[in-house]
Amino acid sequence: MARSLDGLVLAPVADQAPGQVGTRTRFRYHERDGRIWADYEGGDVVRGHLVGTRAGDRLDFRYVQLRTDGSTSSGHCVSVVSERPDGRVRLDETWAWESQEGSGTSVVEEITAPA
């Protein structure tokens, strides 16, 4: 199993569609006893929260977010945790909106310096 996510800051490696998370979004993760949660913000996201579970290298969580245009949205994501050759954590994500149409994949990686 890859190391704990607790205290890590992760960011997407590429922008998604407008109104979604992007390279300026920062996720601040916490983990304890198989439970994960994170707060996130940046780019088109004013504030977001996710909560779920971790079993081995698999995360399963729901997320909600408030966008800069005042709209809200929610969805479900399953991620696979791995470690890059340089030791940073990587999440390969498969997500689907539940409050609107749309689904996809994305990658977020640990950032080592404040942004």
pLDDT, tens digit, 9 for 90 and up, residues 28-47: 999 999 999 999 999 999 99
Q: What tens digit of pLDDT does each residue of 10-19 get?
A: 999 987 766 6
Note the pTM of the prediction, 2 decimals: 0.91
**Distance between CA 100 and CA 91 in Å, rounded?**
23
Q: Burial, 111: exposed, middle or buried (Cβ in 10 Å; 0-12, 13-18, 19+)?
A: middle
Coil, helix or strand for 37?
A: strand
SS3 55: strand
Question: Which residues are bridge partners to 12 per DSSP?
Answer: 108
For domain 9-110, the CATH superfamily is: Avidin-like (2.40.128.30)
pLDDT beyond 90 at 85 = yes
Structure token pair of residue 74: 């929610």
- In the chain, where are the structural domains located? 9-110
